[in-house]
């Protein structure tokens, strides 16, 4: 038997690492991976709460989160490719102009 | 008293946390991507411990399989090298990391001591694909159909954004340039 709070703490650790990576990383691809890490942390707490309160809807929400993450990854990586095509860099500090 | 459930939880949790921290430490994006795949595989193990078989399978297939392959593909396509250091992030490390540690310790203490939640048994809620499918196609039919439209829009958007910009020959596009 594992207390529910252990799952919540693990999910919090993953989310905090995602936030930290989003803030300190300078490579746009790594920043994007940090967002995926945050989504994974949230998914874990969804499944843990679903098991704790015997509500299967929590697992369906995880499915929807994954669908949105897949759509976000497709569009985000396409944006990264087009940014790299125009700026020739992946460093977010050098992508600071709206118009070239 | 260490039960096998707790041992497995701690093992998978240690892999997930180590992978997440490794993502922060690594400077090369391909290493960060590989550690993120380790995190996702460990999380699939946690889902199996909670009895969510469908979610665990989808986690491995969609997340560790499809999405991360997309990431690795883009890293190789753009030939992403080692990340450059910037001076601005030094303040963040000086104040942000202790602040984050303090905040996370506070939240963990509150959750562990004052949440009032009970234990979760192993396989507490059977999340077999059949049950999930029933739920998905009856109660959540409308959100499910909306997500399919979302995926369609995302695919079209990705194709439009990633395709090479074509230079228009003649017509109103040239007037804009003048």
> Which DSSP helix (H) or strand (E) runs through B119?
strand B119-120
In the predicted structure, residue B54 carries a pLDDT above the cut 80: yes
Cα separation values, B139 from A37, B26, B45, B133, B134, Å: 29, 43, 28, 10, 8
Residue A15 domain flag:
yes
> Across the interface, which of B67, B75, B127 has its CB nearest the CB of A56?
B127
Q: Which domain holds residue A64?
A: 4-93
CATH tag, B8-81:
1.20.120.1200
How many Cβ pairs closer than 8 A exist between chain A and B? 237
Q: Which residue has the higher pLDDT, B82 or B161?
A: B161
Q: Please, which residues 51-70 of chain A have a Cβ atom closer than 8 Å to chain B?
A: 51-52, 54, 56-57, 59-60, 62-64, 66-70
Question: What is the tens place of the pLDDT at every residue in A67-91?
Answer: 999 999 999 999 999 989 888 888 8
Residue A83 domain flag:
yes
The Cα–Cα gap between B62 and A67 comes to 9
CB B18 within 8 A of CB B39: no
| Confidence (pTM) | 0.85
CA A92 to chain centre: 18
Residue A98 domain flag:
no
Question: What is the tens place of the pLDDT at every residue in B55-114?
Answer: 999 999 998 889 999 999 999 988 877 777 666 667 767 887 788 788 888 888 887 777
User: So what's the pLDDT on residue B178?
Assistant: 46
Residue A100 domain flag:
no
Q: Which residue of A has its CA nearest to B121?
A: A1
Domain count within chain A: 1
Q: Which residue of B has its CA nearest to A21?
A: B24
Residue A73 domain flag:
yes
The Cα–Cα gap between A58 and A39 comes to 14
Question: What is the tens place of the pLDDT at every residue in B115-134?
Answer: 666 677 666 666 678 888 88
Q: Where are the domains of chain B?
A: 8-81, 128-164
Residue A37 domain flag:
yes
The Cα–Cα gap between A16 and A31 comes to 13
The ipTM of this complex is: 0.91
Q: Where residue A52 sits, what CATH number does that domain have? A: 1.10.287.3510
């Amino acid at each position: 038997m594992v207390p529910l709070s252990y799952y919540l703490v693990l999910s919090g650790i993953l989310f905090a690492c995602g936030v930290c990576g989003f803030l300190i990383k300078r490579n746009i691809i790594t920043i994007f991976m940090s967002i995926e890490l945050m989504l994974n942390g949230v998914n874990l707490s969804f499944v843990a709460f679903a098991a704790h309160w015997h509500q299967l809807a929590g697992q369906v929400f995880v499915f929807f989160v994954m669908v949105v993450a897949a759509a976000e990854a497709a569009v985000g990586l396409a944006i990264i490719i087009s940014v790299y095509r125009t700026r020739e860099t992946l460093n977010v500090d050098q992508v600071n102009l709206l118009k070239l | 008293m260490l039960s096998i459930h707790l041992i497995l939880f701690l093992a998978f949790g240690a892999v997930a946390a180590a992978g997440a921290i490794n993502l922060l430490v690594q400077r090369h994006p391909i290493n960060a991507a590989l550690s993120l795949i380790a995190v996702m595989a460990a999380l699939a193990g946690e889902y199996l411990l909670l009895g969510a078989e469908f979610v665990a399978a989808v986690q491995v297939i969609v997340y560790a399989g499809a999405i991360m392959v997309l990431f690795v593909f883009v890293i190789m396509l753009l030939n992403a090298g080692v990340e450059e250091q910037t001076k601005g992030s030094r303040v963040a490390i000086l104040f942000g990391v202790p602040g984050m540690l303090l905040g996370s310790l506070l939240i963990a203490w509150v959750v562990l001591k004052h949440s009032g939640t009970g234990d979760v048994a192993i396989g507490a809620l059977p999340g077999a694909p059949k049950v999930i499918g029933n739920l998905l196609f009856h109660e959540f039919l409308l959100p499910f159909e909306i997500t399919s439209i979302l995926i369609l829009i995302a695919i079209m958007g990705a194709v439009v954004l990633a395709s090479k910009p074509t230079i228009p020959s003649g017509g109103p596009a040239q007037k804009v340039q003048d």
